[in-house]
Chain A
Amino acid sequence: MQISSQHSGQFEAIYLTHYSRMKRFATEYLICEEDAENIVQDVFLELWEQQFVLMSHTRLFAWLFTTTKNRCLDLLRHKTVIRKGTERIRDEYNVELQMKLQSLEAFDEKIFTEPDIESVVQKAIETLPEKCREIFVMNKIEGKKQKAIAAELNISLHTVESQMAIAQKKLKEVLKEYIPLLFFLLI
């Protein structure tokens, strides 16, 4: 566990660059933010102990997100197994859990090894009209409630909702090559 202060500084920089994104990514699937935080901290603990800090940015990025994905999968599978016993108690929650698990299983982790995946995402979001982008970032990245966004931007809740629907449509289009269609193509 002996890490020189130089490496320690490097580690902190890596942490600050990736932590928030990894946590948000994990939260997308885990529903519970606390679970997501625990998983991400564990991933960094593993990084710290294995002293992978000297990897290239692309490899490091891929390792961090792939490890996060795999740990989320483990947790979701574990939860669905536990859920089986209490199946009928909250059926909808159970379905949601199943859907999250299926989604993450379908998530192609090759995306993480694409060298320019960060700029792909960046560009995809930049394709959104300015107002739409602003609302999307506030809602999905900053985690603000639509009501709060409406108040902050002095617009109606309905506008926020429709801008979010536009954003969804646009992003689906722009990022479609990264998210393979599963069972059949939608008309």
Chain B
Amino acid sequence: MEEILSKYFSGELNRSEESELFRQMENDETLRDEYIRLQNIYALTQLLKHPLQEADGVKGFNSFTHRLKVRKRQKIFVSLLQYAAISLLLIASTFFLTRALILQSNATAEMNTLYVPAGQRAQLTLHDGTQVWLNAHSTLTYPARFSRNRREVSVVGEAYFDVVENREKPFIVTTQQLTMEVLGTKFNVFSYPDAGYTQTALVEGSLKVSETGKKSQPVLLSPNQQVTYSDNKIRLEKLSNPEYLLWRDGIYAFENERLIDIIEKLELYYDITIKVEDPEIFNVRYTGKFRQRDGIDEILHILQKIQSFSIERDRERNLIRLHQ
């Protein structure tokens, strides 16, 4: 027993001898005990210092330092991975946030529309701080957020703009006939489809006016000038009646205007049809102011006091007849 175990622990048993030993061991407790004792004694003798161990140690140490380097690289790689993960998170969140904002701005690129009913007026401040007054029966279409390089709105009816200056973003107002481009200025736009003409008057700053959709030479306005477009012609002239702009405060001011023209404007402001049986009698010129809130009926009553005419009201057809 001693000899075979001695040979075994010296590594001198061949495979079949080894198999035989372990088969024997399965049924021999004493042999198993002896094996364990000897095994542990041999293991204990391995604690012996030996001159050869130095060389073995150097070999091991080289491989150890290599492992250390690999491990360091792995650690760096893991921390790089962590950084990469964080970066990825930042990139992804930025991406989704930006996309959300873009989607949002796309959504807001859908135009807002403000319609002011007849007989009323409105004032609003746009995203860039520009103030807009809208006269009765007028529509302003504007983006909730302006695009990167221009501020574009469009007007049907009458509007007064006090544009906040921004040299990098021109402010562009489009009407059916005229397009106005400014950097920062105060001006009025009159563009009722039923009026037969489009007019823009400049109060402050400078204004570039061109025909909408045409590449014609733009007209440059100085303060207190106005441009009227009718019958495909652009007419530049002095601002006829600065008080006219009082509409913003709810005052309709007329200066030396024919009654027929006054009535025409009232039609636009109050969205009503006024039929004049005998236009001749309304050719007289008048100067005066009306309050918007007085309403069309009151205004006509006032006019009645100057010029005698009878008023026939057809509410169903939203029509007023004026006749001798």
Q: Which residues of A are interface residues toward B (Cβ below 8 A)? A: 1, 12, 15-21, 23-25, 28-29, 37, 40-41, 44-45, 48, 65, 91-93, 95-96, 99-100, 102-104, 106-107, 111, 117-118, 121-122, 124-125, 136-137, 139-142, 145-146, 161, 164-165, 168-169, 171-172, 175, 178-179, 181-184, 186
Q: How far is the CA of A70 from the CA of B57 in the complex (A)?
A: 21
B249 to chain A, nearest CB (A): 78
* A107: chain B residues within 8 A (beta carbon): 40, 43
Tell me if B50 and A122 are in contact (CB < 8 A).
Answer: no
* B53: chain A residues within 8 A (beta carbon): 16, 19-21
Q: How far is the CA of A95 from the CA of B26 in the complex (A)?
A: 7
Number of interface residues of B (CB under 8 A): 52
* B12: chain A residues within 8 A (beta carbon): 145-146, 161
Tell me if A21 and B48 are in contact (CB < 8 A).
Answer: yes
Tell me if B39 and A45 are in contact (CB < 8 A).
Answer: no
Contacting residues of chain B (55-79) with chain A, CB-CB under 8 angstroms = 56-58, 60-61, 63-64, 67-68, 71-72, 75
Contact with A106, one of B22, B36, B58 (Cβ below 8 angstroms): B36
Tell me if B47 and A25 are in contact (CB < 8 A).
Answer: yes
Contacting residues of chain B (17-39) with chain A, CB-CB under 8 angstroms = 18-19, 21-23, 25-26, 29-30, 32-39
The number of A-B residue pairs with CB atoms under 8 Å apart is 167
Tell me if A141 and B2 are in contact (CB < 8 A).
Answer: no
Interface of A is mostly: helix
Tell me if B33 and A29 are in contact (CB < 8 A).
Answer: no
Contact with B45, one of A44, A142, A171 (Cβ below 8 angstroms): A171
A28 to chain B, nearest CB (A): 4
* A165: chain B residues within 8 A (beta carbon): 2-3, 6
Q: How far is the CA of A175 from the CA of B54 in the complex (A)?
A: 26
Complex A-B, nearest 9 residue pairs according to Cβ-Cβ distance, in ascending order: A20-B53, A16-B57, A103-B39, A24-B46, A92-B22, A95-B22, A20-B56, A28-B43, A92-B19
Tell me if A40 and B2 are in contact (CB < 8 A).
Answer: no
Contact with B71, one of A16, A45, A179 (Cβ below 8 angstroms): A45
Contact with A19, one of B32, B34, B45, B57 (Cβ below 8 angstroms): B57
Q: Does B95 sit at the interface, judged by CB under 8 A?
A: no
A-B contacts, 24 listed (Cβ < 8 Å): A12-B61, A15-B57, A16-B53, A18-B57, A21-B53, A23-B56, A25-B43, A29-B43, A37-B60, A48-B68, A92-B21, A106-B40, A118-B49, A140-B9, A140-B42, A140-B46, A141-B48, A142-B50, A142-B52, A164-B6, A164-B10, A171-B45, A181-B33, A182-B37
Q: How far is the CA of A56 from the CA of B72 in the complex (A)?
A: 28
Residue of B nearest to A93 (CB): B22
Tell me if A181 and B35 are in contact (CB < 8 A).
Answer: no
Q: How far is the CA of A18 from the CA of B36 in the complex (A)?
A: 24
Tell me if B25 and A95 are in contact (CB < 8 A).
Answer: yes
Q: How far is the CA of A172 from the CA of B75 in the complex (A)?
A: 47
Interface of B is mostly: helix
Q: How far is the CA of A19 from the CA of B50 in the complex (A)?
A: 11
Are A15 and B64 also in contact (CB < 8 A) when A20-B50, A20-B52 are?
A: yes
Are A21 and B33 also in contact (CB < 8 A) when A41-B64, A169-B2, A179-B40 are?
A: no
Contact with A124, one of B7, B29, B32, B45 (Cβ below 8 angstroms): B45
Q: How far is the CA of A118 from the CA of B33 in the complex (A)?
A: 25
Residue of B nearest to A37 (CB): B60
Tell me if A41 and B63 are in contact (CB < 8 A).
Answer: yes
Q: How far is the CA of A117 from the CA of B44 in the complex (A)?
A: 9
Q: How far is the CA of A22 from the CA of B212 in the complex (A)?
A: 93
Tell me if B3 and A121 are in contact (CB < 8 A).
Answer: no
Q: How far is the CA of A92 from the CA of B41 in the complex (A)?
A: 22
15 additional contacts, CB 8 Å, given A15-B61, A37-B60, A118-B48? A12-B61, A17-B49, A20-B52, A21-B46, A23-B56, A92-B21, A103-B35, A103-B40, A118-B49, A137-B48, A140-B45, A145-B11, A171-B41, A179-B37, A186-B30
Tell me if B52 and A19 are in contact (CB < 8 A).
Answer: no
Q: How far is the CA of A48 from the CA of B71 in the complex (A)?
A: 12
Tell me if B46 and A16 are in contact (CB < 8 A).
Answer: no
B56 to chain A, nearest CB (A): 4
* A186: chain B residues within 8 A (beta carbon): 30, 33-34
Most A CB contacts (10 A, CB to CB) among B52, B64, B75 go to: B64
* B19: chain A residues within 8 A (beta carbon): 92
* A168: chain B residues within 8 A (beta carbon): 2, 5-6, 9, 38, 41
Residue of B nearest to A118 (CB): B47
* A172: chain B residues within 8 A (beta carbon): 37-38, 41
Tell me if A179 and B44 are in contact (CB < 8 A).
Answer: yes
Tell me if A41 and B2 are in contact (CB < 8 A).
Answer: no
